[in-house]
Amino acid sequence: MSVGADVVEGMRDYYARRAAYYERVYHKPERQPDLRAIEAWLPGVFAGRRVLEVACGTGWWTPHGARDATAWLATDLSPETLAVAQTKVLPSCVRFATVDAYALDLPLDAPPFDAAFAGCWWSHVPLPCLTAWLEVLHGRLAPGARIVFLDNSFVQASSTPISRRDAAGNTYQRRTLDDGSEHEVLKNFPSRDEALAQLGPRARQPQWIDHRHYWVLSYELA
């Protein structure tokens, strides 16, 4: 898998600058019913599991997913977003580490993981890299692991408009931060069938849940 250093650095920089107010996106009134439903669903999925969270950001989902988990390693590439996450009241099983999601070089003392979670990360992985990235993730997990991805659905009037599509099919948004800086952010909105097609042969019993503003994909690893 070759993700350009410029792509990795651009995404890290964008979210580092946005970290202090990233969670405004979770205050959008129209998204509240979906958020409450997903937050209520997550703890049961990971109860008793040792979970690797990829690109945890400011940790919006971490307290919910980790509530009944046995161990939870929340990882992100940005020290700025991790710093916000670490200010939260979290279950005692939660640890943090600075980890590049593409390499997934985990701390030596990390537990063997039997689950993984990534919120709003899939949409940022360039399409030509997705299958290879999933293989890297699967390689860090035990057989039988439970995997959950959740991400944004595109909803007119709530989502930032798509500004262009590249030759590989990736879509992009132009976003302006509070400091006035402008960023072109790769953000894909897969359909159910497109997402399932990426999962590869180790994905068992995939389930796709369509909320209004979010989709959730969960499956078990062979």
Ligand X SMILES: C[S@@+](CC[C@H](N)C(=O)[O-])C[C@H]1O[C@@H](n2cnc3c(N)ncnc32)[C@H](O)[C@@H]1O
Tell me which residues touch ligand X (CB under 6 A): 8, 11-12, 15, 55-57, 60-61, 76-78, 81, 100-102, 119-121
Smallest distance, Å, CB 5 to ligand X?
A: 10
Smallest distance, Å, CB 54 to ligand X?
A: 7
How would you write the chain as a 3-class SS string? CCCCHHHHHHHHHHHHHHHHHHHHHHHCHHHHHHHHHHHHHHHHHHCCCEEEEECCCCCCCHHHHCCCCCEEEEEECCHHHHHHHCCCCCCCCEEEEECCCCCCCCCCCCCCEEEEEEECCHHHCCHHHHHHHHHHHHHCEEEEEEEEEEEECCCCCCCCCCCEECCCCCEEEEEECCCCCEEEEECCCCCHHHHHHHCCCCEEEEEEEECCCEEEEEEEEC
Dist. CA 173–CA 87, nearest whole Å: 30
Contact 56, 76 (CB under 8 A): yes
Smallest distance, Å, CB 102 to ligand X?
A: 5
**C-beta closer to ligand X: residue 101 or 221:** 101
**C-beta closer to ligand X: residue 72 or 102:** 102
Smallest distance, Å, CB 74 to ligand X?
A: 9
Smallest distance, Å, CB 29 to ligand X?
A: 18
Cβ-closest residue to ligand X?
Answer: 57
Smallest distance, Å, CB 219 to ligand X?
A: 19
Smallest distance, Å, CB 92 to ligand X?
A: 21
**C-beta closer to ligand X: residue 178 or 204:** 178
Strand-strand pairing, 141-152 and 214-221: antiparallel
**C-beta closer to ligand X: residue 87 or 205:** 87
**C-beta closer to ligand X: residue 125 or 145:** 125
46: exposed, middle or buried (C-beta count within 10 Å: 0-12, 13-18, 19+)?
A: buried
**C-beta closer to ligand X: residue 68 or 100:** 100
**C-beta closer to ligand X: residue 128 or 143:** 128
